[in-house]
Amino acid sequence: MLFEQGPHISYGACEIPYYVAGTVEEARRLVHLTPERFEATRGATVQVHHRVLALDPRRNRLTVEDLTRGEVRQ
């Protein structure tokens, strides 16, 4: 399972100067893997707009905040 605070999980940071300079015209072209494609090709569940607040390895438990709904769950 993959948690990400923002909407994107994979982008080309090295390509940002090209976007700023106008060589790459659309910011979406910097995104390499969408959450949907990551799930399909890597077999992992992706939850964007989520923040991990705590990790308890002894109990094998995460505390996660859904940033869209404002809900916290384990």
User: Any idea where the domains of the chain sit in the sequence?
Assistant: 2-73
As a whole number of angstroms, the distance between CA 28 and CA 38 comes to: 16
pLDDT digits (tens, 9 = 90+) for 17-74: 999 999 999 988 888 899 999 999 999 999 999 999 999 999 999 999 999 999 999 9
Give the three-state DSSP class for 23. Answer: coil
pLDDT of 55 reads 97
Average pLDDT over residues 4-9: 93
What's the CA dihedral at 68, 69, 70, 74 to 10 degrees? -100
Q: Note if the pTM is more than 0.85.
A: no
As a whole number of angstroms, the distance between CA 36 and CA 9 comes to: 10
The class (CATH top level) of 2-73 is: alpha beta
Q: pLDDT band for 11, please (50, 70, 90 cuts).
A: confident
pLDDT of 39 reads 95
